[in-house]
Amino acid sequence: MKHVFVVIAIFLTALFLTSCSKHRAPAAELNLFAWSEYVPQEVIDGFQKETGIKVNYEAYDSNEAMITKLSQNPCGYDLVQPSEYAVENLIRRNMLSPIDMAQVPNIKNLEPAFRDLPYDPGQKYSVPYMSGTTGIVYNAATVKTPPTGFADVFVPKNKGRVVAVNDNREIVGWAFDVLKIPLNDVTPDNLAKARPLIQSWLPIVKVFDSDNPRAPLLSGDCDIGVVFGGDAAKLYEQDHKFKYVLPAEGTHQFIDNLCIPVGAAHKSAAHQFINYILRPEVSKIISDEFPYTNPNGEAKKLLSTSQLENPASYPKLEHSEVFHDIGPASQKITAMMTELRGG
């Protein structure tokens, strides 16, 4: 039976490629499908000017949204930006093309800690772009008792004061951390344990926003957030009153990557863009605008002391986990969260 599934997978991949070959776009083009507010326009402009390759940048706000759209339009994108568990998912589904590292000599600039990672053994399909954490940011001018963990954030007194990233798996992960359940142990029993906790949390959140959670914090509409580290780092750069802490219960470390879909029409352009991104001076531009944890060791040498000492960009990791592909269990998360949100 296993051999039958292998044959079916090979057939479907061949069908993918045959279908895509009938819809090839002009060569001097790159269709980039990436996280919103994550690729600086300066980087895109520089690449276009140097290569003559036009970059079409389409954004998404969750790995699940990206995977769904890529599944529906496998020929539509040349480069995607999945997080670690999404890389695992796409590899399992034969949806990624191997990267020819001979065309990406700047791969040498990555720090050893970001090479040959468990979600892509042998580093065949992915190149790390940026890493980071999910943590708690708060306005120290208005929040007099600093929160130390999720249990301090999601309490009745904070109702209407909290902004949180709009990501179902993240939210479930926070509940798992509080309940001391491993982040990737997504079973029906564990979801049932997390359900009442999440149900009590949702009304406390004023805004769910993964695209720009900084806005309600800067405007004063919210003074506490559970956000991605890069957003907290930008807040800290603007005003040191915004403090960042990793939740005492534990935190999710993510690694976002550049990958080439199997149906990509412009693989040469995709390789060129990956190699361009890995130049130290280009990678520095990304850190300047989006101050996440940069895996590019040579680029980090170009950063200022204040950038390297930003507590949200380069926090001290003690109790962190990475997400892994959980297969069909992700649908159970979606179903539960949709029900709890009343959708």
Backbone angles phi, psi at 162, to 5 degrees: -110, 135
Burial of 100: CB neighbours in 10 Å, binned 0-12, 13-18, 19+? exposed
- Determine the Cα–Cα distance for residues 227 and 212; give it in Å rounded to an integer: 10
Q: How many CB atoms lie within 10 A of CB 34?
A: 20
Q: Which of 240, 205, 235, 258 is nearest to 30 (CA)?
A: 258
pLDDT for 118 equals 95
Which positions ≥6 away from 156 have C-beta within 8 Å? 204
User: What single string gives the DSSP state of each residue in 243-279?
Assistant: EEE--TT-EEEEEEEEBEETT-S-HHHHHHHHHHHTS
The domains located in the chain, with CATH, are 2-131+255-308 (3.40.190.10), 132-253+317-340 (3.40.190.10)
Give residue 305's pLDDT band: very low, low, confident or very high (50, 70, 90).
very high
Q: What is the pLDDT of residue 5?
A: 38
Which pLDDT belongs to residue 61? 85
Instruction: Say how many Å lie between the first and final Cα of the chain, rounded.
Output: 39
Separation CA 186–CA 177 (nearest Å): 12
Residue 125 confidence (pLDDT) above 50: yes
What are the tokens at 200? 């009590």
Question: Is the CB of residue 161 less than 8 Å from the CB of residue 223?
Answer: yes
Arithmetic mean of pLDDT, 164-186: 96
Residue 268, classified by CB atoms within 10 Å of its CB into exposed (0-12), middle (13-18) or buried (19+), is middle
Convert the pLDDT of each residue in 189-213 to its tens digit: 999 999 999 999 999 999 999 989 9
Q: How many CA atoms lie within 13 A of 198 on its CB side?
A: 26
Q: Residue 9: pLDDT band by 50, 70, 90 thresholds?
A: very low
- Determine what percent of the chain is predicted with pLDDT higher than 90: 88
Average pLDDT over every residue of 84-113:
97
**pLDDT for res 318:** 81
Q: What is the mean pLDDT of residues 287-302?
A: 98
- Residue 2: the pLDDT is 36
